[in-house]
Amino acid sequence: MAGPVRIHNILSNLWSKNAKLGKILQAGNWEGEIQRCLRSDIASAITTTSFPEFDSSPQLNSHLDLYKLSLEKPDIFWGKLARSRLTWSKDFDRVSDCDLSNGLIKWFIDGKINASVNCVDRHLDKYGNRVALIWEKDEPGQEEYITYKDLSLLVNKLSNSLKNHGVKRGDRVAIYLPCCPIAVAAMLACTRIGAIHSVVFAGFSSEALAGRILDARAETVITANEDVRGGKLLNLKKTVDDAVAKASCVKRVFVYDLLDRQVPMNKLDIPLNKVMSESSGESEAVPMDSLESLFMLYTSGSTGKPKGITHSHGGYLTYAAVTFKHVFDYKEEERFGCLADIGWITGHSYVVYGPLLNGATTVLFSSTPTYPDPGRYWETVERLKINHLYIAPTALRLLLKGGDSWVTKYNRSSLRKLGCVGEPLNHEAFEWYRDVIGEKRCDVIDTWWQTETGGICIAPRPSNPDAPIYPAMPMRPFFGIDPVLLDSAGQVIEEDNASGSLCIKRPWPGMAQTIYGDHQRYVETYYQPFAGYYYTGDGAVRHPGGYYQITGRMDDVLNVSGHRLGTGEIEDVLDDHHAVAESAVVGFPHDIKGEGIYAYVILKDGVSESRENIISELRQMTKKRLASYAQPDMIQFTPGLPKTRSGKIMRRILRKVAASSSDDLGDISTLADPSIVDVIIKNHDKIV
């Protein structure tokens, strides 16, 4: 079949299956773009200039040569980069020893390294006075600049404070702080003494925080008294107090005064400003085994409680350093504005580790995209002269609605690259980013990756400035990443223009090492769905030229404004309501959030409480027990759910109804009671 016709058929098929993707793809002249880009990509000269490590290899002339080397001889490729980009306390003996079938991931074996030395100490001689962090506070115009020297002092004093109060190598330390210099210092202070940090997004509820503390058996929490975000006061300490009351493993809570206000202190609490001021500014950095855990970060899966994804030292640091430099084509002294919170992996890899490992200047954004008005991002870009912006599609979609005038009134000439991450970037948002925000001067870099992958795996032009960019897709695998698409039988899909389950065939240094305390779950989740492959849980289409476009999750994980949420997590909360017998949660296309939350709820017999009350209580419960973004957008009461005879909920039907596209429900004959489908559709029509 001729290329464009086949592309069209496949995409049409996908559109009909996936309303969200359909919306994304239909918004542009897709086939024409693909054909144009493919021609110029093949013709473009590709250089390796930014990889001095390979300058003396005459057979490596192109980006493609280098990519092939990274796949075929990963030990040579990553070994050279790890040695030249990082400072090791002891060189590694072997580059890698991995076995994907059993989830055994080892990089830079027997090497010793310290993350804080690599992020801070080694820059001091040359760049001590360079700005490391720009703290963009909630109120515009109040930014603070922290040099590498300043950061070094903070990290040393904080690590001495931890040590003096009994925190040891291998201990887990929960950090419940907003994006601010003390949070970065806390992360690096942990790494300095070999403690494992577990940053918990400071918007999570006390219950979510307690669950994460308990799972990690963390004895130490670092938090602040209060904070303001979007003009609203956040009582962080109170949330931590409530969490600590449920987590008896906690022995000490360091409280930093971010705001000049008194909060009640308890017997476990240690005033962090005070103990830091009394601590020495020099703290020895512990050389850590490359394979020891650097940090853990909780993320949602399709089943069960959130997983403590654990990353190791050598592998993660190498991958964060190299991806930061080459995905964004970062040049010395540029200002990097990744506006994510440190509570997510994006904040770990591209607010903290990637930039600091490269001696870059990184922005810590503590406000919201619309505070005090929808011009906030662009006013910040102008004031801080940001060169690289890295944000989420959901923010773009939100700001786009406010119109161009909020953008054009600010000077954006400092911008050079425009990145995004977290969810599929739709055409409209892509074009607005490229044409209005970037005035058609800047590349738009859609990056695909996950908490588990440690760093970016698919992005348009890793260090290849001549390669063209397709609209709205991450496109090209990064060095060392060998993506494959598998069909449901586990067969590799060889042809282009096909969609399948996105898996990765070979190990790479950034990949997570385990799920904290549950290696079996790690193996079952990522390596057993398709033996011998890393399973991402995402679907993708591969276009001619080997360019990947992500179609969204294929499992029961929702992606709400770029935040992962397991449907099971939300159902567990809803089911705890005294009036609820059962619930089923699915995603539906949402203009701003990408995906909204739709809950079907069966009430117990004889419930007389008003439905409005129950809806409001259910929303409150999800906010309290999970986070505010976990509140269902739509709640539909139903007398039953579409279940197969074996009792499995047919979520496909619930998703279609939630998306108001119930014309083509497919085969429903295997349902125990097919008549429930009509009832569900009628009730849906009443509430939308």
Site of interaction with ligand WTA (CB under 6 A):
299, 344-346, 421-424, 446-451, 474, 536-538, 550, 553, 559, 564
| Alpha helix ranges (H) inside 289-426 | 313-327, 345-347, 354-357, 376-384, 393-401, 405-408
3-state secondary structure of 508: coil
Backbone dihedral angles phi then psi of residue 139, each to the nearest 5 degrees: -85, 130
CB of residue 357 to ligand WTA, shortest distance in Å: 18
**Closer CB to ligand WTA, 288 or 512, in the complex:** 512
What is the closest distance, in whole angstroms, from the C-beta atom of residue 682 to ligand WTA in the complex? 33
- Tell the smallest beta-carbon distance from residue 421 to ligand WTA (Å): 5
Question: CB of residue 528 vs ligand WTA: minimum separation in angstroms?
Answer: 18
Closer residue to ligand WTA in complex, CB, 92/448: 448
| Minimum CB distance to ligand WTA smaller for 253 or for 442 | 442
Q: State which residue, 146 or 202, has the beta carbon closest to ligand WTA.
A: 202
Closest CB 235 distance from ligand WTA, rounded Å: 26
Smallest distance from ligand WTA to CB 659, Å: 18
The CA R_g of the chain, rounded to the nearest whole Å, is: 25
Q: How far is the CB of 362 from ligand WTA (least distance, A)?
A: 17
Q: Are 643 and 637 in contact (CB under 8 A)?
A: no
φ, ψ of residue 600 to 5 degrees: the values are -100, 130
Kindly list the distances between the CA atom of residue 225 and the CA atoms of 41, 188, 222, 243, 328, in Å, as whole numbers in the listed order: 53, 21, 10, 15, 36
- How are beta strands 94-96 and 252-256 bridged, if at all? unpaired
> For ligand WTA, which is the closer residue by CB, 175 or 421?
421
Instruction: Considering the complex, state which of residue 116 and residue 323 has its C-beta at the smaller distance from ligand WTA.
Output: 323
| Helices and strands, counts by H and E, the chain | 24, 30
Nearer to ligand WTA, 178 or 393 (CB): 393
Residue number with CB closer to ligand WTA (363 or 384): 363
Helices (H), 145-250: 148-164, 181-193, 206-216, 236-246
Of residues 79 and 474, the one with the C-beta less far from ligand WTA: 474
- SS3 per residue for 444-493: EEEEECCHHHCCCCECCCCCCCCCCCCCCCCECECCCCCEEEECCCCCEC
Question: C-beta of 459: minimal distance to ligand WTA in Å?
Answer: 8
Say whether 617 sits in a helix, a strand or coil: helix
Q: Which residue has the tokens 């679907």?
A: 539
Q: Name the pairing type of β-strands 307-312 and 293-299.
A: antiparallel
Residue 114 has φ and ψ, to the nearest 5°, of: -125, 130
Nearest to 169 by CA among 66, 23, 283, 308: 283
Q: Which is nearer to ligand WTA, 424 or 510 (CB)?
A: 424
For the CB of residue 458, give the shortest distance to ligand WTA in the complex, in Å: 7
Report which of 106, 48, 50 is spatially closest to residue 74, judged by C-alpha positions. 106
Question: What is the closest distance, in whole angstroms, from the C-beta atom of residue 26 to ligand WTA in the complex?
Answer: 17
DSSP, res 339: -
656: which 2 tokens? Answer: 């279609």
Instruction: Give whichever of 211 and 510 is closer to ligand WTA, judged by the CB atom.
Output: 510
Query: How many angstroms separate the Cα of 74 from the Cα of each of 71, 79, 357, 482?
Result: 6, 8, 21, 11
Least distance between ligand WTA and beta carbon 473 (Å): 8
